[in-house]
Amino acid sequence: MSARSRLFAACLPLVLLVGLATPAHAETYERVLNGTFATGKSPWWSSGSTPSAVDSGRLCADVPAGTVNPWESMIGQNDVPLEAGQPYTLRFTASATRPVTVRAVVALADPPSTGTLNKPVPLTAEPKAFEFTGTSTKTTTRGQVALQAGGAKEAYRLCLDDVSLTGGVVRPGGGWDYGSPVRVNQLGYAASGDKRASVVNAATTPVAWQLRDAAGAVVATGTTTVKGDDAMSGDHVHIADFSKVKTVGTGYTLAVGSDVSEPFDIARSPYDSLRRDSLAYFYHNRSGTPIDAEHVGAAYARPAGHVGVAPNKGDTSVPCLPGTCDYSLDVSGGWYDAGDHGKYVVNGALAAWQLMDTYERSLRTLDFEGLRDGLLAIPEQANHVPDVLDEARWEVEFLLKMQVPADKPLAGMAHHKIHDLAWTGHPMLPSNDPQPRYLHAPSTAATLNLAAAGAQCARIWALWDRAFSQKCLAAAETAWQAANAHPDLYAPDEDSVGGGAYDDTDVSDEFSWAAAELYATTGKRVYLSRITTKLTPAGFSWKDTGALADLTIARLPERFPVDRVLPARKRILSVADGYLRDLRKQGYPNPSLPTDGAYAWGSTSATTNAAMVMGVAYDLSFRREYRDGVLESMDYLLGRNGLNQSFVSGYGERASHNQHHRHWSHQIDPALPSPPPGSLAGGPNSGLQDPVAQQNLPGCQPAKCYIDDIGSWSTNEVAINWNSSLAWVAAFVDAR
Ligand code: 9MR
């Protein structure tokens, strides 16, 4: 069940009540998106056999002859919410270039495809308006509105306009129930750390709280402090502080009146398994190798993806997108970026860098667990190299393959990305992906990120594998030179069919970060003057890497001039102070407080990246408040938030488990697994860029713009750069 269906099940009595009290058709909530095609085709689709496009403001489809069943040729829209027992009215205008009868259908998108209505629609060349009614027998977020045109004797053109489906009593964006108003870290609190809960409560004076053990006995009491209105969530919040309790135990709950939190632990090492699970994410998503049951268990084992075994085209010889170059490269391996099967150098280099930085931190802070061979269940678990490095190398090897060979035009640059020609549907195991895949044109940003990760790789691997280290260094320096020769090859934002764009038209930050890494590794003065960026409260992301220069300097102070080191340290402490202030002033402890009041795509990674900066500040200063800030950021991620939601699968009673992923697709195919433990959902995103978010979240407060539904790629995807950040922070909070 999706979170929303669970919610509907939970509020069924309420819905029924409202339903009974409401005369049929009293509510005219619109349930289809873009029914006039004013904003183009999306989110409408048509069957593979039935090409369609918007033509003079209508959606027109070329229906082929030769299909048998009505559903073999369709135009439709998915993710339409339906409520059991509610009447719906479907209206539309349609025409056909031959006199035909098609069917108008409102039904569940997935088997058993239970229907709300299924009516014959006689069409002629003259556009005609139709109206049908029906009652839904199911409550679902996965309804479908479609015209079924299969079975045509001769081909014709079908056009559709002004589609509307009205009905239901739950206001679009409404009907949410977030469970207990007492919000805790649903995994648990470190016995030695602060322990706070956020409580949604309208009272303007403190209220009493009780901490209960697993048997229900009260072990501590106190009163809240009133935090007041929380801008990002819209909640009126109190804070309950039970830091004084240090007794280790499981099954604690916090009660405020009759409101009781989800259960949680107080533990000496609550993050021991998250540290490993957040890193295991990467093996699960390796491309070009079978994922062995011996390492992941039978449910997650799968054949190698994209190795050239049909129906895959294989990444072993991938041609350039026509018109960009005229060769093919072996770009097998690496990690799939996210819920899709694309592989992107900009993002891959950042994720690999963050894993390698986790290693460098472990080395410098003598965190032996982080250096352990055998930390992870991966094929390299007994090769006498720290597993976190083995995992990062899997990606770095791929990044190196993306570099343009010396004898080709733009030699030394890195191809921006490789991905499918068209988006594939769900579910789709990597080994079943039938799409042609192409190398996209080289970009300066990809080249510089390769230079940065390559330089870091060279430094780190000098200790473990000299030949690989030298290979990384050569690639990094070549990339640097190539980027300087071609400083403005930007990846375009419109290149986002079949894969993400990762577009960026300002690469001054990438130059600076690459220069910092290259200087740290080589000590060559030419790089020093090219470090031009600073850490600011805006932090860093795949697009903005300038802040990473300061993190590299702080990581390796002995390699930089002191007049670079001192200001970098100062900035890190001051930005971390700002994150702490932002965390403390809010009702929920998120160190990332966007200045524009909107959460961006992947907002949980803004949280983990801010936590990483606080972690580095702790390493520089040993000031406990920074460590507390990182721990409290974990509280936010693991349930102490406006949604009472843990964004990490497998961690917490109300944890995300329907993240957008091509084969962790249990929500749509029970034979497939849910995301494995330790997979971070992108989280609240004010942009609502996908139809599921648009259907279920309009009008949401920024901190509540999230739905745990596989169709919501803009709020609920997973991605390597988000999990690499979670892995860094999980290692930090786990380390002694
Ligand atoms: O993380 C990316 C986010 O910052 C962008 O706003 C978004 C749209 O361009 O793309 C995100 O990255 C996605 C990528 O383009 C394709 N693979 C999945 C990534 C995570 O959603």
Question: pLDDT over 70 for what percent of the chain?
Answer: 96
Residue 670 included in any domain: yes
**Which atom from ligand 1 is nearest to the alpha carbon of 500?**
15
Residue 689 included in any domain: yes
* Tens digits of residue pLDDT in 507-549: 999 999 999 999 999 999 999 999 999 999 999 999 999 999 9
Residues 629 and 534 in one domain: yes
Rounded Cα distance between 332 and 564, Å, is 39
Residue 20 included in any domain: no
217, 232, 267 - which closes a domain: 267
Average model confidence (pLDDT) across the chain: 95
Residue recorded with tokens 């009505």:
70
167, 190, 207 - which closes a domain: 167
Residue 111's pLDDT is 79
Q: Which amino acid is at 144?
A: Q
Answer whether 500 contacts ligand 1 (Cβ < 6 A). yes
**Which atom from ligand 1 is nearest to the alpha carbon of 503?**
9
Mean pLDDT score, 352-381: 98
Residues 350 and 476 in one domain: yes
Residue 113's pLDDT is 79
Residue with the nearest Cα to atom 8 of ligand 1?
Answer: 500
Residues 72 and 155 in one domain: yes
* CATH number assigned to the domain comprising residue 203: 2.60.40.10
pLDDT > 80? residue 10: no
Calculate the CA dihedral of residues 687, 691, 695, 696 and round it to 10 degrees.
Answer: -60
Residue 361 included in any domain: yes
Residue 15 included in any domain: no
Residues 135 and 189 in one domain: no
Could you tell which of 502, 599, 712 is best to mutate to test the pocket of ligand 1, judged by most ligand atoms within 8 Å of the CB? 502
Question: Bigger pLDDT: 8 or 319?
Answer: 319
150 close to 70: Cβ distance less than 8 angstroms: yes
Residue 523's pLDDT is 98
pLDDT > 70? residue 200: yes
Residue 588's pLDDT is 98
Rounded Cα distance between 236 and 230, Å, is 6
How far is residue 287 CA from its own chain's centroid?
18
Answer whether 420 contacts ligand 1 (Cβ < 6 A). no
* Tens digits of residue pLDDT in 211-264: 999 999 999 999 999 999 999 999 999 999 999 999 999 999 999 999 999 999
Question: Bigger pLDDT: 22 or 51?
Answer: 51
Residues 260 and 375 in one domain: no
Residues 521 and 651 in one domain: yes
How far is residue 557 CA from its own chain's centroid?
33
Residue with the nearest Cα to atom 13 of ligand 1?
Answer: 500
Mean pLDDT score, 152-177: 96
Answer whether 348 contacts ligand 1 (Cβ < 6 A). no
pLDDT > 90? residue 18: no
Question: pLDDT over 90 for what percent of the chain?
Answer: 95
Residues 458 and 314 in one domain: yes
Mean pLDDT score, 56-69: 97
Banded pLDDT at 373 (limits 50, 70, 90):
very high
Question: Bigger pLDDT: 39 or 16?
Answer: 39
What secondary structure does DSSP assign to 222-281, as a single string?
A: EE-EEEEE-TTT--EEEEEE-TT----EEEEEEEETTEEPPPEEEES-TTHHHHHHHHHH
Residue 680 included in any domain: yes
Rounded Cα distance between 102 and 104, Å, is 7
Rounded Cα distance between 13 and 16, Å, is 5
235, 267, 299 - which closes a domain: 267
Residue 115's pLDDT is 86
Mean pLDDT score, 663-669: 96
Answer whether 220 contacts ligand 1 (Cβ < 6 A). no
Residues 277 and 301 in one domain: yes
Residue with the nearest Cα to atom 5 of ligand 1?
Answer: 601
Answer whether 504 contacts ligand 1 (Cβ < 6 A). no
Residues 39 and 130 in one domain: yes
Residues 451 and 382 in one domain: yes
Rounded Cα distance between 623 and 621, Å, is 5
Could you tell which of 426, 592, 601 is best to mutate to test the pocket of ligand 1, judged by most ligand atoms within 8 Å of the CB? 601
Residue 21 included in any domain: no
Residue recorded with tokens 């409404």:
174
Residue 26's pLDDT is 47
Banded pLDDT at 27 (limits 50, 70, 90):
low
pLDDT > 60? residue 78: yes
C-alpha 247 to ligand 1 mean position (Å): 42
Answer whether 602 contacts ligand 1 (Cβ < 6 A). yes
Token couple for 200:
């949604």
* Tens digits of residue pLDDT in 421-457: 999 999 999 999 999 999 999 999 999 999 999 999 9
* Tens digits of residue pLDDT in 678-707: 999 999 999 999 999 999 999 999 999 999
Rounded Cα distance between 142 and 668, Å, is 10
C-alpha 270 to ligand 1 mean position (Å): 31
Query: DSSP character for 94?
Result: E
* CATH number assigned to the domain comprising residue 42: 2.60.120.260
Q: Which residues are catalytic?
A: 660, 708, 717
Residue 22's pLDDT is 46
Residue 99's pLDDT is 97
In degrees, to the nearest 5, what angle opens at C-alpha 174 toward C-alphas 169 and 177?
110
Banded pLDDT at 465 (limits 50, 70, 90):
very high
- Counting the structural domains of the chain, the total is 3
* Tens digits of residue pLDDT in 285-305: 999 999 999 999 999 999 999
Residue 232's pLDDT is 98
Residue 571 included in any domain: yes
Mean pLDDT score, 323-340: 97
User: What pTM does this model have?
Assistant: 0.95
* CATH number assigned to the domain comprising residue 476: 1.50.10.10
C-alpha 447 to ligand 1 mean position (Å): 19
For residue 190, the enclosing domain spans 182-267
Residues 537 and 684 in one domain: yes
Closest CA to 419 of 481, 502, 532: 502
Residues 524 and 454 in one domain: yes
Residues whose CB is less than 8 angstroms from the CB of residue 76 and which lie 6 or more positions away in sequence, other chains included = 44, 45, 46, 144, 145, 146, 147
C-alpha 236 to ligand 1 mean position (Å): 32
Residue 112's pLDDT is 81
